[in-house]
């Protein structure tokens, strides 16, 4: 069930909110858990038992950590199990494929058996990282074990964030699960934030996706200079407006039920360096890598060369987290190298160069493989030898609505802080905010109704 499905918007969410608001405060966690279980069950019934059982095991382990004399061993075992689950579902096929390829190249006398398709559980990467962070925080004493298993399940499965983030830390939510206030102002702010996210997804991201989807499916010989740039800019806008929209909706729903989730995006395309970009993009993931990988590796306390190695390794892993394919790994390496350049030369690339470099990175990210990425880079540099425009009508590749939406999207980037301020300013006349919400909701619902399939990009991870 997607946040942008009519079923969610007009049935699940109103039903959930009605039940939540009508029940006594002490029942609200139970209502949230029941609806969250239903939400996950609805989307991935075969994986709910896995999440519940592994979650229960992690809960038990977190309590056992405090009592055991082999704390380190238990922690390693717990993390190992989570990584093994993630590896099985997300990376086994990729690595076995690569190994098979290697064996063929080496003309080995044996080959690996062909593995059957493995379905990726909904939000497995997000849930795994939350389980690991919980265990490590408890081990480090940076949080106390959950008092009740149902609290822990609620932390893992709370439906606004369970399948596409943001990635929570237990200590950020623990207190809120125990007690939270429902302030009318926050509820309305959350609602407007949710509607704004819905608009970003359905009115902008889905529209700017149209040209880039079409261009990325063109044959190699059709990818010329202009279309490759249109595709790159279109995708850059799509991925931001899509993914940040999901975070907006998650944060908005959270606010509507009294939670205060941390921001996951802070206007990343206004960053003036790659380092700055990563402080603003998918903040919950970047924080996770810093706290649970970079720092345990020694961070910047282990000498300059090791620090550089640590940074680069973290970005390689981050690339692999995004997808089991080499072009994701190379995308991670690309960002890692850029950050190392900034560190080594003590420079920042500046806003414009950062914007362009991030855009080039998204070409690697969006391509289906390295061959396609190379095709696009050559075309963007004017070296493809293909026609500058295209043999397809421009109107079909870039309809006016998409062009206008791309321009609006680009223009919105520097003004987003003001838009958020407007949405959260209770002093702004309610008529203005309601009119804004009504117009956005109408446009979004029109787009959603007119489409049959509307997945979020980040569901792949």
Partner 1 sequence: MNSRFLIILFLLIPLIPTSRLFFLRGATTAPEKVPLTLSSVWTGKYQEWVEGHFARHVGFYAPLINLDNMINLAFSETRLNSNGCVVIAHNDVLLSPDEVALFRQRKVDWPAIEKKIQLLSEASQKLKKLGIEMKLVFVPSKLSYFVKELPERWQVETPEPRPGLAAVQQAMARLQSLQVPILDVRDILEKIRKETGEIGYPRGGRHLYQLASCEILGMLQKPNFTCFPAVPGVATGNESDIHECLNSFHPFGQREKLSKPGPVQTERKAPRKVLLVGSSFMRELETEARRLKLYEDLHIFYYNKSHENGVSSKPVKIDDEWRNLIKSRDLIVVDFFEPQLDTLGHGFAEQVLREL
Binding site residues, partner 1, CB under 8 A: 1, 5-7, 9-11, 13-14, 17-18, 21, 42-46, 182, 184, 187-188, 191, 207, 210, 256, 389-396, 399-402, 404, 437-438, 441-443, 445-452
Task: State in angstroms the smallest separation of the CB of 390 from partner 1.
Answer: 8
- Considering the complex, state which of residue 88 and residue 394 has its C-beta at the smaller distance from partner 1: 394
Residue 361's nearest CA partner among 451, 447, 236 is 236
Q: Residues near 288 by Cβ (< 8 Å), separated by ≥ 6?
A: 129, 133, 167
- Considering the complex, state which of residue 13 and residue 85 has its C-beta at the smaller distance from partner 1: 13
- Considering the complex, state which of residue 7 and residue 95 has its C-beta at the smaller distance from partner 1: 7
Q: Residues near 273 by Cβ (< 8 Å), separated by ≥ 6?
A: 342, 347, 348, 349, 350, 354
- Contact 397/390 with Cβ under 8 angstroms? yes
- Considering the complex, state which of residue 197 and residue 268 has its C-beta at the smaller distance from partner 1: 197
Burial of residue 167 (CB within 10 Å: 0-12, 13-18, 19+) is buried
Catalytic residue among 82, 161, 322, 335: 322
Q: Which two tokens stand for residue 96?
A: 């076995």
Distances in whole angstroms, Cα of residue 405 to Cα of each of 193, 203, 360:
20, 8, 21
Task: State in angstroms the smallest separation of the CB of 313 from partner 1.
Answer: 37
d(CA 67, CA 73): 13
Task: State in angstroms the smallest separation of the CB of 94 from partner 1.
Answer: 24
d(CA 370, CA 363): 10
Q: Known catalytic residue: 322?
A: yes
Q: If you ran DSSP here, which 8-state letter would residue 410 be given? A: H
Task: State in angstroms the smallest separation of the CB of 116 from partner 1.
Answer: 16
Provide φ and ψ at 160, rounded to 5°: -60, -25
Q: Hey, how many other C-beta atoms are within 10 angstroms of the C-beta on 27?
A: 13
d(CA 366, CA 360): 10
d(CA 18, CA 14): 6
- Contact 207/405 with Cβ under 8 angstroms? yes
- Considering the complex, state which of residue 2 and residue 79 has its C-beta at the smaller distance from partner 1: 2
- Considering the complex, state which of residue 107 and residue 181 has its C-beta at the smaller distance from partner 1: 181
Task: State in angstroms the smallest separation of the CB of 391 from partner 1.
Answer: 5
d(CA 375, CA 236): 18
Q: If you ran DSSP here, which 8-state letter would residue 52 be given? A: H
Task: State in angstroms the smallest separation of the CB of 298 from partner 1.
Answer: 44
- Considering the complex, state which of residue 268 and residue 447 has its C-beta at the smaller distance from partner 1: 447
Chain centroid to CA 366: 14
Task: State in angstroms the smallest separation of the CB of 404 from partner 1.
Answer: 7
User: What b/e sequence results for 253-288 when a residue is b if at least 16 CB atoms lie within 10 Å of its CB, and e otherwise?
Assistant: bbbbbbbebbebbbbbbbbebbbbbbebbbbbbbbb
Which pairs from 45-49 meet CB under 8 Å and 24+ separation?
A: 46/119, 47/121, 47/122, 47/124
Task: State in angstroms the smallest separation of the CB of 125 from partner 1.
Answer: 20
- Considering the complex, state which of residue 136 and residue 423 has its C-beta at the smaller distance from partner 1: 423
d(CA 260, CA 186): 9
Catalytic residues: 322
């Amino acid at each position: 069930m997607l946040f942008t499905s009519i079923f969610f918007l007009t049935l699940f969410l109103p039903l959930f909110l009605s039940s939540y608001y009508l029940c006594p405060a002490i029942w609200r966690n139970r209502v949230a858990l029941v609806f969250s279980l239903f939400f996950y069950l609805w989307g991935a019934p075969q994986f709910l038992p896995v999440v519940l059982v592994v979650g229960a095991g992690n809960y038990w382990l977190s309590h056992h950590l405090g009592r055991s004399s082999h704390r380190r061993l238990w922690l390693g075992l717990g993390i190992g199990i989570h990584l093994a689950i993630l590896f099985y579902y997300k990376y086994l096929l990729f690595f076995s494929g690569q190994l098979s390829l290697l064996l063929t190249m080496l003309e080995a006398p044996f080959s690996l058996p062909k593995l059957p398709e493995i379905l990726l559980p909904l939000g497995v990467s997000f849930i795994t990282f939350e389980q690991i962070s919980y265990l490590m925080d408890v081990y480090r004493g940076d949080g106390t074990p959950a008092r009740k298993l149902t609290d822990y399940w609620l932390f893992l499965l709370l439906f606004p964030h369970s399948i596409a983030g943001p990635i929570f830390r237990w200590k950020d939510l623990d207190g809120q699960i125990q007690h939270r206030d429902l302030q009318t102002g926050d509820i309305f702010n959350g609602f407007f934030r949710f509607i704004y996210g819905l608009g970003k997804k359905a009115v902008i991201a889905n529209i700017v996706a149209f040209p880039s989807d079409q261009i990325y499916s063109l044959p190699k010989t059709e990818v010329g200079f202009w279309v490759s740039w249109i595709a790159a800019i279109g995708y850059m806008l799509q991925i931001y407006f899509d993914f940040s929209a999901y975070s907006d909706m998650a944060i908005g729903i959270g606010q509507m039920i009294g939670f205060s989730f941390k921001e996951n995006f802070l206007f990343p395309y206004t960053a003036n360096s790659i380092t700055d970009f990563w402080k603003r993009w998918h903040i919950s993931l970047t924080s996770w890598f810093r706290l649970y990988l970079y720092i345990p590796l020694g961070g910047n306390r282990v000498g300059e060369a090791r620090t550089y190695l640590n940074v680069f390794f973290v970005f390689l892993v981050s690339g692999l987290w995004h997808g089991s394919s080499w072009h994701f790994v190379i995308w991670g390496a690309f960002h890692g190298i850029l950050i190392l350049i900034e560190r080594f030369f003590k420079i920042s690339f500046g806003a414009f160069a950062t914007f362009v470099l991030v855009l080039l990175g998204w070409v690697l990210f969006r391509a289906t493989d390295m061959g396609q990425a190379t095709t696009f880079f050559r075309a963007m540099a004017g070296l493809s030898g293909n026609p500058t425009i295209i043999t397809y009508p421009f109107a079909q590749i870039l309809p006016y609505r998409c062009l206008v939406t791309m321009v609006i999207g680009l223009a919105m980037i520097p003004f987003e802080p003001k838009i958020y301020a407007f949405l959260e300013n209770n002093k702004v006349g309610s008529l203005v905010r309601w009119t804004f919400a009504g117009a956005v909701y109408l446009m979004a619902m029109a787009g959603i109704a007119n489409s049959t399939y509307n997945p979020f990009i980040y569901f792949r991870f």
